[in-house]
Structure 1
Amino acid sequence: MKISKVLSLSILAVSLWACGGGQQNTESTSSETSTVAESAAAPAAEEPKGKQLIAQSDCLGCHKEQQKLVGPSYADVAAKYEATPENITMLAGKIINGGQGNWGEVPMSAHPQISQADAEEMVKYILTIKK
């Protein structure tokens, strides 16, 4: 029983660590890095804003488009929720405030640094993903 508790707490701690943080160093160290970033920006502009925002966040540490990791896949979220204004607002709130219980025992960490508008763009993109 004690080993089970320790194991459960260890798994929870690793899960939270994997989903937390997400702070990236965006400082360029050379003009070459700047040139590479500029050339990569052109194709990225074609991607939906929500997809770009997800790529810049720590979301992909816990979620993938088609497979479950720590949290549900984006395709599973899209299958469960219709793209209504109410669902978009509710799911954006889950991104910002975190949550637990909708997809199992592991809680989703809060991301208060993400604005409501950006979270809604992320949700709009997620809800377009199909299996």
Structure 2
Amino acid sequence: MFGMKRITILISCISVAVLCIPACSGRQPKQETRQPVDYIKAIPGPSDPVPVAIAKKGEVLIGYSDCYTCHKEDQRSVGPAFKDIAKRYPVNQAYIEYLAKKIIQGGSGSWGNAVMTPHAQLSFDDVEIMVSYILSLRE
């Protein structure tokens, strides 16, 4: 007959074996993967072409403004990249006016927690041209 000591040892060995079987199965433990967040959230709609002369004038106006303090053309900085803005918004007069108003009035929340200070010193016409340049970067 088995003694209590042998039974305890047998149960311990069986427990260790049962616990080791899943670890030895060759399967990797399931790793959680983060789902990418849609940073851009593109708005569907038709886009109009931006005349080259308007785009060039907009690029010059942006160069003389403080836009590059918070924005870069193709990488996110304090604010979104110009190319990301162009990917989000269709190129049409309604969005050009909407974005021009946002630039002049300032705002937050469209691209996360970043806050854009108001640019009331800029004329609405110049800002529309600047926005036209930004949206012309749409790929």
TM-score (norm 2): 0.59
Larger-gyration structure (1/2): 2
One-letter identity of the residue aligned with 2:77: L
**1:106, CA displacement in angstroms?**
1.5
* Deviation at residue 130 of structure 1 after TM alignment: 3.5
Quote the residue 1:98 is aligned against.
106
| C-alpha separation in 2, matches of 1:109 and 1:100 | 9
* Unaligned residue ranges in structure 2 (runs of 5+): 1-52
The match for 1:6 is: none
For 1:88, the aligned partner's letter is I
**Separation in structure 2 between the aligned mates of residue 83 and residue 129 of structure 1, nearest angstrom:** 10
Q: Which amino acid aligns with 2:117?
A: S
1:126 and 2:130 are equivalent in the alignment: no
TM-score using structure 1 length: 0.63
Q: Unaligned regions of 5+ residues in structure 1, if any?
A: 1-44
Match of 1:78 among 86, 94, 102: 86
In the TM superposition, 1:17-36 aligns within 5 A as none
Higher helix proportion: 1
d(CA) in 2 for partners of 1:71, 1:119: 17
**In structure 2, what is the equivalent of residue 63 of structure 1?**
71
